[in-house]
Amino acid sequence: MNILAIESSCDETAAAVVRDGREVLSDCIASQADMHAIYGGVVPEIASRKHIEAIVGLTDEALRQADLAKQEIDAVAVTYAPGLIGAVLVGVNFAKSLTYGLGIPLVPVHHVRGHIAANYITHQDLEPPFLCLCVSGGNTLIVDVKDYTEMAVLGASRDDAAGECFDKVARVLGLGYPGGAPLDKLARTGDDSRYPLPRAHVEGHDLDMSFSGLKTAVLNLVHNAEQKGEKLDLPGLAASFSAAVSDTLVPRTLAAARMTGRRKVAVAGGVAANSRLRADLTAACRDAGLSLYLPELKLCGDNAAMIGCQGYYEYLAGKRAGMDLNAYATRDIALG
C-alpha cells in the first residue's frame, strides 16, 4: 500500500511516499528555518504562507522520487494536530483536495504519534508495546505505546517543552534559531559541572517535568554577568544546561519503564538528536537491562516519512477523515 504523507505543523513543509508503513520511497523536506532565524523564532503567519508556496512542488517531487503517479497512491496521511494552527491547516486542506480529486481515503495523523513512528523506520524490528520519551520543540511527553494506535501519557512538561527551552537558552547565548543543535555542539566541549543549575520536581507527580525554572536560571545568569561585565564560560554553561535537561528526562523515563514493566524504551522528536541525552539514555538503559531505540538523526526532526508510517497503522486501525476534518493546535496523543 502506497501512502502519500503531508506534514506542515511548524516550519518544515514535508511530503513523502511510504510503502506498507516502513519502506520510505521518498522523503522531501523544505525547511523555512532560515526565514524565521531573522526573527529569532517561528513567525506563524510567515510559516503558513511558506507552506502554501512549497506544498504543491514538494508533493510532485516526492512522487517523482518515488517513481509513482498520483493514481498509484492508495491513501493520503496528513498531520492534523498539534501545531501552529494556520500551518497545519495548509497541509490538511491540501490533503483534502488531493483525496477528493483522486477518490482515495484521507487519514489524519497526530504529529507526536508520527515522531514515535520514526523509530519503526529506523528499527524495522521494533513493535509495540514500548515506552517512548517524546521531546520536540512543542511537546515533552513520556508515552506508554501500548499498541500502534493505543497510547497513554504517563508524564509531561507542565510548562516549556524541552526543545523550546533549548531554543530560548541558545538565543540568549547568541547561537541563533533553531538553537538546539548548535548548543549541543558547544556543550560537547564544555565542563558540565561548571554552573550549578536547578532540576525541578513537580510535587506529587513524579513523572511530570518543568523547564521554565531552568530556563529562567540561565537567563538570569547571563543577564547578571552582562551587568557586571563578567565573561561567561559558554561551553561550560551549554554543558551544564544540557546536563540539567538530561537529568530531568532520563530518570523519569527509567521510572516510567519500571512502573509499566516495559523492557523497550524509544525516544522521539527533535531533541532526540541531542548527544548528551542519547549518551545518558544509552548508559541508563544498559545499566537497567532495557533495550533502547534511538531514531536516526535525520528522522528526529519534522519529516513526512514518519507521518506516512504512522498513517499506515492508523489506516489499518480503520481511521479515516472526511472533508470536515479540522486542524487542532493542541490535542491529546491518546485521542489520536
| Contacts with ligand KG4, residue ranges (CB under 6 A) | 10, 136-138, 163, 166-167, 178-181, 184, 269-271, 273-274, 301-302
CB of 181 to ligand KG4, least distance (A): 4
Residue closer to ligand KG4 (CB basis): 135 or 254: 135
Instruction: Please say whether the beta carbons of 159 and 208 come within 8 A.
Output: no
CA dist., res. 169 & res. 179, Å (int): 8
Q: Mention every residue, 6+ apart, whose C-beta is less than 8 A from residue 133.
A: 141, 142, 143, 249, 253, 265, 266, 267, 268, 272, 281
Residue closer to ligand KG4 (CB basis): 174 or 322: 174
Q: How many CB atoms lie within 10 A of CB 59?
A: 25
CB of 300 to ligand KG4, least distance (A): 7
Helical pair 85-102 and 44-66, crossing angle rounded to 10 deg: 30
Cell of 170: 541558545
Residue closer to ligand KG4 (CB basis): 73 or 134: 134
CB of 69 to ligand KG4, least distance (A): 30
Residue closer to ligand KG4 (CB basis): 91 or 163: 163
Nearest-CB residue to ligand KG4?
270
Rg (CA), the chain: 20
Residue closer to ligand KG4 (CB basis): 73 or 271: 271
CB of 176 to ligand KG4, least distance (A): 10
Residue closer to ligand KG4 (CB basis): 85 or 259: 85
Residue closer to ligand KG4 (CB basis): 51 or 73: 51
CB of 263 to ligand KG4, least distance (A): 26
Q: Mention every residue, 6+ apart, whose C-beta is less than 8 A from residue 127.
A: none
CA 331, 324, 48, 17 torsion-angle sign: positive
CB of 138 to ligand KG4, least distance (A): 4
Instruction: Please say whether the beta carbons of 22 and 309 come within 8 A.
Output: yes
Instruction: Please say whether the beta carbons of 24 and 35 come within 8 A.
Output: no
CB of 310 to ligand KG4, least distance (A): 14
